[in-house]
Amino acid sequence: MNKRLFTASVLATSMLWLAGAPTAAIAQEKFPSKSVRWIVPYAAGGGSDFLARTIGQAWGGQIHQPIVVDNRPGGNTAIGASETARATADGYTILSADNGTLIFNPVLYKTLSYNPGKDLAPVTLMGRFPMILVAGPGEKAKTAKEFIAEGKASKEGINYASAGAGSPHHLAMELLKSETGIKLTHAPYRGAAPALADVAGGQLPVMMVDMAAGAGFIKGGKVRPLAVANATRLPQLPDVPTFAELGLPNVQAAALVGMVAPAKTPATVIAALNKQVVAAINEPAVKQKLIDFGVEPVGNTPEQFQSLINSESTRWQKLIKDLNITLD
């Protein structure tokens, strides 16, 4: 090759390389460049579904791409989690994951179709659904203190409803049981709505419920809020004390709903997802809509979300093992 041809070849190669570098950068900046599939492991209409659709609408508007919510209920969220774990790790399939998905299931089940620590990568905690102890007309106690005293005095114990075995609502009551020593018997339902209906109807006396699911029943006077399993009182229920105020600081429980992606999703894509979703959560209209629904909006970093998963795993997995709760 003569000198002139060699120089031309080098220049052409350099120009192609230089052209390719900004193209790659632009491609990363434009993520996502097509629709995103957002798996929600619950049926449409619940709190997790509302959270995803509310945030997804704002997010899609910001990035000018469709966010398609895909409801995949079943298996205590394992069906949706397994599908996400097997998906291509490119950021175009994401999952709403709660305490059950990330913390409870690994110890509630002897065999699980996914491994949250190995198969799923945290993006952000989107919202908290603090638990509230509510009583129906079948419960005589007017306060949480009276209820606890009644439970301690009862030889037979007290029955309680929950949104399902292994749900945050179920384990919040088991936490109360563990901290107070009262005898409680669990009656699981398929969702918070039917459980609340039976508590309101007097078939069962009490349950733990989040504000998003229980607001209508509470505002309508069908159930009475007795105490909040939160560090502070809820703005929607300013007159209802926390368990900490009643001398039970460890009785804190909430459904924690975050976003995760397949484990091998590139860090740059995780960072883009985090930035975009947190921006959507922080839109004033979105934030207010979530608060009105009964959700405490969050929006944190992947590292902060992972740290929370770690600390919550230590707390709840010990309780589950100590009480020998299994779902197999």
Whether pLDDT at 255 is above 80: yes
Q: Which residue has the higher pLDDT, 45 or 234?
A: 234
Q: Name the token pair of 288.
A: 């207010």
Average pLDDT for 142-164: 94
Burial (CB count within 10 angstroms: exposed 0-12, middle 13-18, buried 19+), residue 57 = middle
Cα distances (angstroms) measured from residue 16 to each of 8, 9, 22, 25:
12, 11, 11, 15
Amino acid at 234: L
Find the length of the chain: 328
On average, the pLDDT of the chain sits at 91
Cβ pair 171, 316 in contact under 8 A: yes
What are the tens digits of pLDDT across the range 256-282? 999 999 999 999 999 999 999 999 999
Return the pLDDT at 190: 85
Q: Which of the four pLDDT bands, split at 50, 70 and 90, describes residue 312?
A: very high
| Helices marked H in the chain | 3-29, 47-63, 78-86, 99, 105-108, 116-119, 144-153, 168-180, 192-200, 211-219, 267-281, 284-293, 302-322
d(CA 133, CA 65) in angstroms, rounded, equals 41
